[in-house]
Amino acid sequence: MKTPARVLADQVNQIQKSGRFSPRSASLPTWCPGCGYFGIHQGLNDCISSLEIPLTQIVTVSGIGCAGRYPFFSNTYGLHTVHGRALPAATGVKLGNPNLTVFAVGGDGDGLAIGGGHLPHIARRNINVNYLLFDNSIYGLTKGQPSPSSPMGTKTKASPYGTVDKPLNATLMALAYGASFVARLFAGDPKGITEALIEGVRNPGFSIFHIYTTCVTFDKNFKTWAHLKEWTHALPQDYDPTDLGRAFNEVLKDDFSLGVIFKRDA
């Protein structure tokens, strides 16, 4: 008798052979209209389709927040874990079955606040997990509080006089922690996300994709579509992503240059 997992695997294989392969699930995303997460979703789906990875060999792990339900919107296997614990859960999945391709997804609140203590350890251990950090600099699911990446002075209902906390720079943190592959991207460029994801998945070791996005519901002043389109730009043409020193200098001097910031074969 076939196990439920075997039955599901056979069904997925039949779908793939019939030409109806798609990483999208039948469950439509529940994000607000205009949310930047749709662009990230498109970029990851196109990456999976381009690499032709069997859906039964992919696991998507999430925490809590607007990105938390991501596994429901994907035809891959998925784990919807607790707040801030996407990375340790993804570590367990990858170590339990190294043949799987593992994606971890989460917002800046999930990954840099309650989950911030896990990022340095998955990076230094160099676990072969691909982490998509959706950074809109706000807590969207819980109605617009400032997050660890909100700029000083951000005014919300929870910080009516402006937040006084210095923001964290996830790209700089990833470089300092020793990640093997670091990319900084923009949700308004799904094609750029796809290209970076393909390169990062193929690169051995821990890969992090720091993706600037927007919260159209609660952020009307900072990371808006208009501002991000104005501020973001490509890395210099002569940029060398294998030069760690230059990577640090680039991130320190420019918050909005996009592309593969650093990569090493480890």
Which tens digit of pLDDT belongs to each residue from 169-207? 999 999 999 999 999 999 999 999 999 999 999 999 999
Long-range contacts of 240-248, Cβ-Cβ distance < 8 Å, separation of 24 or more: 244/175, 247/175, 247/182, 248/172, 248/175
Residues 6+ apart with CB under 8 A from 135: 107, 108, 149, 170, 210, 211, 212, 213
**In Å, what is the CA distance from 204 to each residue of 23, 86, 133, 231, 241?**
23, 20, 19, 31, 15
Please report, as a single letter, which amino acid is at residue 247. A
Domains of the chain, residue spans:
31-263
pTM of the model: 0.90
pLDDT tens, position by position, 20-79: 457 776 667 889 999 999 999 999 999 999 998 899 999 999 999 999 989 899 989 999
pLDDT tens, position by position, 76-132: 999 999 999 999 999 999 999 999 999 999 999 999 999 999 999 999 999 999 999
**In Å, what is the CA distance from 171 to each residue of 28, 210, 238?**
30, 6, 20
Architecture of domain 31-263: 3-Layer(aba) Sandwich (3.40)
Place of tokens 């799987």: 100
